[in-house]
Each structure stands twice: as structure tokens, then as C-alpha cells.
Chains A and B, each alone.
Chain A
Amino acid sequence: MSDFPRWKYALVVLVLIFGVIYALPNVFKPSPALQIAPNRGQVVDDALKSKVQGILDQNKLAVTDVQVDLVAQRMLMKFPDAESRDKAADAVRPVLGDGYIVALNLASNVPSWLGAIHAGAMPLGLDLQGGVHFLMEVDQNSVQDKLETTYADDVRSLLRDKNIRYESVARNGRGAGIGIILKSDADRDAASSAIALDHPDLILVNGNNTGDRFVLNATVKPDKLRELAQSTIRQNLTTLRNRVNALGVSEPLIQQQGDNRIVVELAGVQDTAEAKKLLGAVATLQYREGLANPSDPRAQDAQRTGNIPPDANLVLGNHGEPYLVSKKIIVTGDELSDAASGFDQQTGTPKVDVVLNSAGARKMTDFSSAHVGKPMAVVYAERVTDTKVVDGKEVRTARTSERVINYATINSTLGKNFQTTGLASPTEASDLALLLKGGALAAPTDIVEEGVIGASLGADNIQKGVQAVLIGLGLVLLAAAFYYKLFGLVADVALFFNLILLMAVMSLIGVTLTMPGIAGIVLTLGMAIDANVLICERIREELRNGSTPLASIRAGYEKAWATILDANVTHLLAALGLMTMGSGPIRGFGVTLFIGILTSMFTSVTVTHAITALIHGGRKLKTLSV
């Protein structure tokens, strides 16, 4: 037909083929699977495969497929149902022990040729497959506190180095910078130029003078603060990722949300307690010089009177006994490269083997060689968050709870490898080892929101969602065919392809499918038919005005197009608004709507036009079935 060019037919066919291929992977349901990966010095090989197979045979558990990837060092076993998978995990875990990470997983059953062209199924949101989610908040105040304290120390030592006399250098309170009080105007000028040279990130402003107090205020540049806040959250993301990997959850979602929040979604996990303990914990070890043990009267005095020597901290031990330890920390948990838990061979008590990084090892060597025969204390420091309600608002305060877990005499110079005993239980030892290994959180992070979605609830949701899509689609198909006859049927074909194309684009981009996303699909299907309603109504009008059938089709499409474009652009703006809304599930809805509007413009206009042209082209028509 003359008014529908060949290249458009080609385009329609190509797009439809693309849609079918890329939507196809969603048909293949993933199987419940176990993923086994080596943890510490172990390997994945055929020996492991037969070992695991043996365990499963013993427990009479059927496996549908086993894949061993020697290059990626990973073994994947598929099971017929989630129940036998979970049983298998319980059976395999204790036998493999610490050396392997056994993770619950969903293995894709998409044929490899589809994988080769990057066609994959849409990942399912937590609401559709069950799991736990946490929203964590990074305490940026403590980052600022730490930064300002560091600057205050730096400024103090700088002034001392430059022989500039000062009365005091102190923080003015959070965000207000550092107040430096000097003795004369000349000193202030000298201090100002020295600080400006050494610390370009500080803004220096002269304050009010009172008598012989010359005030200089230094505040941190907002850029620097922002940069620090961003790097803090990046570091926390990395740390959380390490910790979650240690938990053995495959494909976790760990994402930044807003300026200082982190979303963690662990699909398939049903027990929040275990996950939470590891995610939120901010425990670390500190190695300090020991000053007095509980049998020392100084420690007892300090506990009784509260008079603590200025260079010391009073820290209690596992059983509440007092120790005096130096304020100065030799090495902290940040400065180690590896940690592993185990049992001390001589005493049988739980221990943590620690490997320090080079900076940490140097400090430890320097300290221990100078203090042979003197005591060293190992302090277990844990951050505890208190939340109180003050004037109807939540106020979070954090404190560090410290505990001496080990107090021993240095017998020889220590290097980078050594072990720490004195932990309360094997669980505490293995938790601490995981935490130390995962790295410290750059800033304290609190869980502000959490939820569990049961796996059965997820399965129920997805079943209901798919039913709603199919029944909604079916009803619209019927209604359109009934009301617009042949043109309605053409619109139906287009609407069906719209669903396929929408799924193809969502799969290709990798949009996570959630329940609100399914609602978005249903809404898109309902509104996509609007373009066809507009076209059909126009064609009817043209026919009533006495146009020939072919001219009516042409005019119908032409005149309706402007309206369709305006209506869809305004609708796209609304979808864009939804996409910019912060929260994940709502964004999923917005994204679905946005893609759906774009695909529906193509299918409702171009695809129906092509089919209409095919049906009516080259024929003499007296009437139209519309």
C-alpha cells in the first residue's frame, strides 16, 4: 500500500522479532540452587563434587543438575524444589565447614544461546521472591566530628612547629569549625598564612578581638565535607558488600539511597537476626599498652574512686574486673589484612588469628620491641546505638562499649602475625574474624528500617500479579474486539505485542520486577489501548463525513497522531516524576510506566498501521469493519 512504506514493515518485523527473543528468557523459571565457593585456601574441583554428591545421596536428596566451574571456582547444584534445596544446604554446610561458602541461590534455566546475546530474565524484587531488607543510615555527624578533631590536632601541631604562640585551639561545636585564639595580631597573621598554606581545605576568618585574645576561625570547606561524606558512604558500601559475601548470600543488592542511606536486600534469606548482627556491627579490636591489671591497687583505686590517670582509660574485663590501659592505641582493626577464627591448641579456647598490614605491622614491631616484658591489652570495642524520643523526635546517640578481652605480657618482639585469645565463645570469635576481615565501616551505620518477606508470600504475590496481568489483558482484548470489530482485533494484536515488547525492554535493561511494577504493566496495558481508541474514533468520524474507506484510514491515523503525541508526552512527564521519587518499589512502577508509554506508542500506532495496511491494501473497499 502506497502510504505505508516498505521500510516501516521491515522495522515492525525487526522490532517484533527483537521483542519475542528478549522477552523469551522470562518463560524459563529459575531452579532453586546451592552455590558453593571456596572461602579460605580451598579449591572447587571434581573431588569436592563427589564429596557433596555423597552427602546428598546419604540424605536421599535428588539433584537435577550439577555444574562445576573450575575457572570461576564455583559449583552450582540445581534442585527440584526449594524445600530439598534448603535441606541440602543444612546437610552440606556442617561437613564443608568454614572452608567453603554455601549460598542459597536461584539458578537461571535460560538456554545458553539466549545468554550469548545478553537476553536474560527480569530479576525479581524481594516482594516477589521473599527475603529480608534493611535500610541503614550512615552517621555523617560522626564523620564531621572526626574530621574537625583531626584538623584541630593538625593546627595545634602546625602552630607548635612554626613557633607561633597560641592560647587555645578548640572546636566550636559541630559544623562551626575550629576556634584558634592567639596572643597578638601579628601571630594571627602568621598563623593564618601558615594554616592556609598547609590546609587549603580550611576557610579562615578573623573573629572578634577581646583584649589580648585574637580569634581566628577555621571552617572546613563544604566541598571537602561533601567529598568526605561521599567517600565515607562508598567505603561503607564496600565493607557491607564484603560482609554480605561472607554471609554467603548470592546476588545481594547493596545500594546507596539518597545522601546517607544504604539499602541492603538479601533475597532468599529468611532469618534477619543473623544478617543484622553482621551488617550493623561496628566491632573492632584495639591493641593498647597495659598499665595496670585488676590485682594492681591502682586499677582498683581507679574503679573505686573514679580518679583515672590522665593518660589512661579504665576498661572493664569480661567479668567486670577493672584494667587501666593507655589511651594511646597501638594498632586497630582497620590495620589488618586478614583474620581467621579457630581454637587455641594448648588451651582449647576460641581465638582469632590476625595478620596485620604493613603499616600496622611496623607499629606493632616498634612498640613490642621497646616494651618486651611489659603488658599489652586487647580491647574489644563495639558501637552501641541508643535511640530516645525527645520532644516527639527520635534522637540517636552512639557510644562505644569497650571490654578488655586479653591482657598479657609481651614476651618477644611481635611481627605481623599473631593470635588473640580470651574471647567469650567460638561464635564471638568467628563473628569478630568476619568483621575484622570485612573491614571496618568508615562511619557508624544504624539500621533504621527492616522487613522480612516470606518466600511463600513472594510466590503468592507473583502468581496473583501474573493472573492480574493476564485477566486484565484478556478483558481489554475482548472489549476492544467487541466494540471496534476488525480494527479492535488489530489493536488487540498490537496490545499483545506491547506486553511482549515491554517485557523485552525491561529484561534488557535489567529492571527489577516488583509488585508495583506489575501494577504499572497492568495500567500500561489499559492505557495503551487509548491510542487505538483515538484512531478508531477518528476513522469512524471520517467515514461519517463521507470519506472513502482508504482515505478514512489515512486521515484517521494522521489526525490522531498529533493527539496521541501530546497525550503521551504529558503522560511521560508524569512517569518521569515517579521515576525520580526516591524509593525503590515506586521507582519500579515509574520505570515500567515510562517504558510502557514508549513501547505503546510504537505498537498502537506503527504496528496497527502496518497490519491495517496489509489487510486493506490494494483492495477496493466499500465499508470498514470498525
Chain B
Amino acid sequence: MEIFNHNSNFNFLGLRKFTVGLGVVLVIASVILVAVRGFNYGLDFTGGLSVQVAYSSPVEVSDVRQALVNAHFDDAVVVPVGGANGLQIKLPIRVVDEAGANLPADKRADKVRDEILAALKASRPDATVKDRSFVGAQVGEELRNDGYIAMIFVIIGIMGYLWIRFERRFAIAALATEVHDVLLTLGIFALTRREFDLTVLASVLAVVGYSINDKVVVFDRVRELFRASRNATPEEVLNRSINSTLSRTIITSLFTGITMAALYFIGGPVVHGFAITMLIGIVVGTLSSIFIASPILLWLGVSKKDLMPVTKDNPELARRP
């Protein structure tokens, strides 16, 4: 069975002004979104208190919110978890700090938890507290910094590898596309105000891994076709590379997408953020592999002679990639 016409020769490069232009616009929009709206950072990063509450019968989120507002917890975020009876209430670290400056941090968290429980019991006596977790603000800041440093380290490592295995232009094109993918994924997070927590940061790194995988497959074909071609123009070679890897690019995206969708629908709230980030990243990464990476290669002036193996005098070696 084949979904894609194997003889397809769609002129992807012909659209390059439009596609790359769109990519640039989206990247700029993402940067602005991230800068202006910022992320809805999770507790992992901001520090704060999360209280898991359970009721013996279903409860309306709006009622709980009202009960909290009545008790002057205006900044509380109420999220339903685990069916209609469970809720998660999140409070920024500021509220916890204000609860009692003279108490040790964990005692203050206990105090706020008890106040919340009292506020909830006032409106519904069947409220019980299941868990609570508390994160200091400084810990969160360090986690975030660690994550960003890891991301930079990963991107530099990948660039270095591509520079050695392929050529400088491939490394630059990969870097540019990687940045595009990461920024777009982050931009979507800033736009939708989805919670950005530690698992999401990890999955953004996984998106980097997935997306580079995708680009390398296309680049590999570009290298192979350049070496094999006699006098095709770079544009022809790049177009042929995208077309001949198109079926693989999309099938792999679909397969990985299937597993992530399964994780999203079945894996429960803990992995929601992870699965949704991967799904966004897979779509963005697949599109950029097709529409953005190769035009950048073309503009950087990739050519046949850059890709010929150094040991030209040994034909046996020259055949190897």
C-alpha cells in the first residue's frame, strides 16, 4: 500500500520565498508572544503550593473557585483532575510567603493548606485534602536554567556532529530550523497559555531530538543525490531529495503521532503536557523538514563539490556515505 505517489516531483523549493517567509513571520510572532504574554509556568518553575482536593460527590469548579475567592484566595487556580470529584488548587509562592513570614517554609505551606481546607469546608463539608506539594521559588529557577542550558548544549552538540559528518552549511541549516521548531512550539505554548512545567521543558528537548532526526534523513538524501548527480542544479537535487523522502517523513510522523496520541488520551494528566508538546513538535518539525530546511541549504549555497568525499582517489571509499 502506498499513500504517496512515488513519482511525485512537487516543486517544494519553488515555494521557498513563501514558506520560509511564513516561517520567519511565525518565529517573530512566537518571540513576541513569548516576550509579551510569557509562559504560564507550572509550579515546578515558579514555586508555590499545589493542594489536591477530593469531594465525596461531583463538584463544580466554579463553586470551588467562588469558595476560595470568598476566603480571599483570589490568585488560586482550580483545575479538575481525576474525574468530577477531584480538584487541584494551585497557589503562587507569593501567597504562601505572605501567610506567615516568621514560620519555616514548610510550616507556612501547611498553614495555607489548612486555610484552604477550611475555606472549602465552609461551602462543602465533604472536602478532603489528598496531597499537597510545595516547591521553593529558588529551586524552580534553577530547574528552568538547567533546562535551557541543556537545550543549548544539545543544539551545539548536534551542530558539531553535522559539521563533521556533513558540512558547515548543513549544520547551520539544521540549527536555523531547530531554532524555528523550538520557538514555534514555545510560541504555541505562550499563545494557548497551557501550563509550562518540567515535563513540557523535557518534551521540548525531545522535540529537538525528533526534529533533527527528520532533518538528517532529508540531508542524507541531499548528500547522496549530490554525489550521484552529474549536472543537476542544486535546486533540482534538493527538490528530488524532499520528494523521495516525503513518504518516509510523513509515515514516521504519523506513527510517532499515533503513540503520542495514545499517551495523551490514556496516559492521564501527568503526561498530558508531554504528549501535547510532542504532537505540536512533530507537526512543526515535519513541516519544517519539508519546507524550511532545504531552502536554507540552497541559500547558503550548498554545492556538489563541498560534498565529495576527501579521499577521491579511492573509489571504494568514495561510494560510502
Contact B267 A522 (CB under 8 A): yes
Q: How far is the CB of B295 from chain A (nearest CB, A)?
A: 21
Q: Which residues of the other chain, B, contact A389 by a CB distance below 8 angstroms?
A: 94, 97-98, 101
B-side interface residues, number (CB < 8 Å): 84
Q: What's the Cα separation between A518 and B266 when bound, in Å?
A: 12
Inter-chain pairs besides A480-B255, A537-B248, A568-B213, 6 sampled, C-beta below 8 Å: A451-B50, A454-B52, A454-B130, A515-B270, A527-B252, A574-B158
Contact B143–A582 (Cβ < 8 Å):
yes
B255 and A589 contact, CB distance less than 8 A:
no
With A450-B133, A452-B133, A534-B248 known to touch, is A258 a contact of B271 (CB < 8 Å)? no
Contact across chains for B199 and A519 when beta carbons are under 8 A apart: yes
Report how far A585 CA is from B206 CA in the complex, Å. 14
Mask: chain B, 194-212; 1 = CB below 8 Å from A; 0 = not:
0000110111011011101
Check if B82 is an interface residue, CB within 8 A of chain A.
yes
Provide the B297-312 mask, 1 if CB < 8 A to any CB of A, else 0: 0000000000000000
Query: Would you call A530 and B252 a contact (CB within 8 A)?
Result: yes
From B3, B206, B258, contact of A476 by CB (8 A): B258
Q: Does B132 interact with chain A (Cβ within 8 Å)?
A: yes
Query: Which residues of the other chain, A, contact B247 by a CB distance below 8 angstroms?
Result: 537
**Is B72 engaged at the interface, CB distance under 8 Å to the other chain?**
no
Any chain B CB within 8 A of the CB of A299?
no
A525 touches B202 (CB 8 A): no
Contacts of B316 in A (CB 8 A): none
**Shortest beta-carbon distance from B262 to chain A in Å:** 4
Q: Across the interface, do B258 and A576 meet the contact criterion of CB distance under 8 Å?
A: no
Instruction: Pick the contact of B157: A454, A562, A573 (CB < 8 A).
Output: A573
Q: Judge if A567 is at the interface, Cβ distance under 8 Å.
A: yes
A586–B202 CB distance below 8 A: yes
Known contacts A570-B162, A571-B213: does B251 contact A533 (CB below 8 Å)? yes
B256 touches A527 (CB 8 A): yes
Residue of B nearest to A448 (CB): B136
A483 within 8 A of B: yes
> Which of B52, B210, B245, B274 has a CB less than 8 Å from the CB of A516?
B274
Q: What's the minimum C-beta distance from B13 to chain A, rounded to whole angstroms?
A: 21
CB <8 Å contact, A467 and B266: yes
Chain A to chain B contacts (Cβ below 8 Å), 11 pairs: A135-B136, A280-B106, A453-B131, A454-B52, A516-B202, A523-B260, A530-B252, A534-B217, A568-B213, A570-B216, A574-B209
Cβ < 8 Å to A, chain B residues 239-286: 244-245, 247-248, 251-252, 254-260, 262-263, 266-268, 270-271, 274-275, 278
Minimum CB–CB distance from A383 to chain B (whole Å) comes to 10
Q: Which of A153-161, A205-213, A456-464 contacts B (4 or more CB under 8 A)?
A: A456-464
Given contacts A452-B132, A523-B256, A563-B216, are A387 and B206 in contact (CB under 8 A)? no
B217-A563 in contact (CB<8A): yes
Q: Which residues of B contact A568 (CB under 8 A)?
A: 213
In the assembly, what is the distance between CA of A527 and CA of B254, in Å? 10
> Contact between B205 and A515 (Cβ–Cβ < 8 Å)?
no
Separation of A258 and B139 alpha carbons in the complex (Å) = 11
Q: Do B217 and A567 touch (CB < 8 A)?
A: yes
Q: How far is the CB of A531 from chain B (nearest CB, A)?
A: 9
Query: 8 Å CB contacts to A: which residues of B140-192?
Result: 142-143, 146-147, 150-151, 153-154, 157-158, 161-162, 165
**A276, A471, A577, A586: most-surrounded residue (chain B CB, <10 A):** A577
A519 CB contacts on chain B under 8 angstroms: 199, 203, 263, 267, 271, 274-275
Q: A386 near B: Cβ within 8 Å?
A: yes
Contacts of B203 in A (CB 8 A): 519
- Chain B neighbourhood of A544, CB < 8 A: 6
B235 at the interface (CB under 8 A from A): no
Residues on B with beta carbons closer than 8 Å to the beta carbon of A261: 139
Q: Point out which of A482, A570, A575 has the most chain B C-beta atoms below 10 A from its C-beta.
A: A570
The answer to whether A450 touches B134, judged by C-beta atoms less than 8 angstroms apart, is yes
CA A153 to CA B220, docked complex, whole Å: 69
Which residues of A in the span 382-396 have a Cβ within 8 Å of any Cβ on B?
A: 384-389, 394, 396
Q: Are B213 and A527 in contact (CB under 8 A)?
A: yes
From B1, B132, B150, A578 is in contact (CB under 8 Å) with: B150
Q: How far is the CB of A489 from chain B (nearest CB, A)?
A: 14
Q: What residues on B are CB-neighbors of A575 within 8 Å?
A: 209
B206 touches which one: A385, A386, A573, A593 (CB < 8 A)? A593
Residues on the B chain within 8 Å of A516, using CB: 199, 202, 271, 274
B151 touches A577 (CB 8 A): yes
Within the complex, which residue of A451, A526, A586 is in contact with B259, where a contact is CB–CB below 8 Å? A526
In the docked arrangement, what's the CA distance between A581 and B146, Å? 6
Residues of chain B within 8 A (CB-CB) of A611 are none
- Tell me the smallest distance from the CB of B217 to a CB of chain A, in Å: 6
B20 close to chain A: CB less than 8 A: no
Q: Do most interface residues of chain B lie in helix, strand or loop, or is the interface mixed?
A: helix
B267 touches A479 (CB 8 A): no
Tell me the chain B residues, 77-103 only, with Cβ under 8 Å from chain A. 82, 94, 97-98, 101-103
Whether the Cβ atoms of A449 and B212 lie closer than 8 Å is: no
Closest approach, in angstroms, between the C-beta of A441 and any C-beta of chain B? 15
With A454-B130, A479-B254, A479-B255: A577-B154 Cβ-Cβ less than 8 Å = yes
Residues of B within 8 A of A476 (CB): 255, 258-259
Q: Write out the residue numbers on chain A whose beta carbons fall within 8 Å of the beta carbon of B278.
A: 523
A227 is an interface residue with CB less than 8 A from chain B: no
Q: Is B321 an interface residue (CB 8 A)?
A: yes
Q: Hey, which chain A residues are within 8 Å of B205, CB to CB? A: 574, 577-578, 581
Name A residues whose Cβ lies closer than 8 Å to a Cβ of B.
127, 135, 137, 258, 261, 276, 280, 384-389, 394, 396, 446-454, 457, 460-461, 464-465, 467-468, 471-473, 475-476, 479-480, 482-483, 485, 515-516, 518-519, 522-523, 525-527, 529-530, 533-534, 537, 540-541, 544, 559, 562-563, 566-571, 573-578, 580-583, 585-586, 589-590, 593
Q: How far is the CB of B67 from chain A (nearest CB, A)?
A: 23
What's the nearest-Cβ distance from chain B to residue A543, in Å? 10
Judge whether B104 and A562 touch: CB under 8 Å. Answer: no
Shortest distance between the CB of A423 and any CB in chain B (Å): 22
B105 interface contact, C-beta 8 A: yes
Query: What residues of chain B lie closer than 8 Å to A589, measured between beta carbons?
Result: 199, 202, 206
How distant is B290 from chain A, measured CB to nearest CB, in Å? 15
Contact B266 A449 (CB under 8 A): no
A483 and B251 contacting across the interface, CB-CB below 8 Å: yes
A389 to B100, CA, bound (A): 10
Name B162's closest neighbour in chain A (CB-CB). Answer: A570
Asked if B111 is an interface residue, CB under 8 A from chain A, the answer is no
CA distance A501 to B174 in the complex (A): 32
Q: Quick check: B258 and A387 within 8 Å, CB to CB? A: no
Q: Is the CB of A573 within 8 A of B154?
A: yes
A-B interface, 8 closest residue pairs, ranked by CB to CB distance from nearest: A451-B133, A574-B209, A577-B154, A526-B259, A526-B256, A448-B136, A472-B262, A472-B259
Candidates A460, A482, A526; contact of B1 at CB < 8 Å: A482
**Min CB–CB distance B164 → chain A (angstroms):** 10
Q: Which residues of A contact B29 (CB under 8 A)?
A: none
Verify if B137 is at the interface (C-beta below 8 Å from A): yes
* Interface pair A454/B131, CB less than 8 Å apart: yes
Q: How far is the CA of A471 from the CA of B131 in the complex (A)?
A: 30
B142 and A566 contact, CB distance less than 8 A: no
Q: Contact check, A576 vs B244: say whether CB atoms are below 8 A apart.
A: no
Contact call B251/A580, Cβ cutoff below 8 A: no
> Are B151 and A276 in touch, CB under 8 angstroms?
no
Q: Using Cβ atoms and an 8 Å threshold, which residues of chain B touch A480? A: 255
A474 to B252, CA, bound (A): 16
Contacting residues, chain A, for B105 (C-beta < 8 A): 385, 387, 394, 396, 446-448
**Which single residue of chain A is at the shortest CB-CB distance from B93?**
A394
Q: Which of B138, B161, B254 contacts A570 (CB 8 A)?
A: B161
Measured CA separation A280–B108 after assembly (Å): 15
A428 to chain B, nearest CB (A): 18
Q: By the criterion CB–CB under 8 Å, are A533 and B255 in contact?
A: yes
**A residues in contact with B258, CB < 8 Å:** 472, 475-476, 479, 526
Q: Which residues of A contact B260 (CB under 8 A)?
A: 472, 522-523, 526
Residues of B within 8 A of A534 (CB): 217, 248
B109 within 8 Å of A (CB atoms): yes
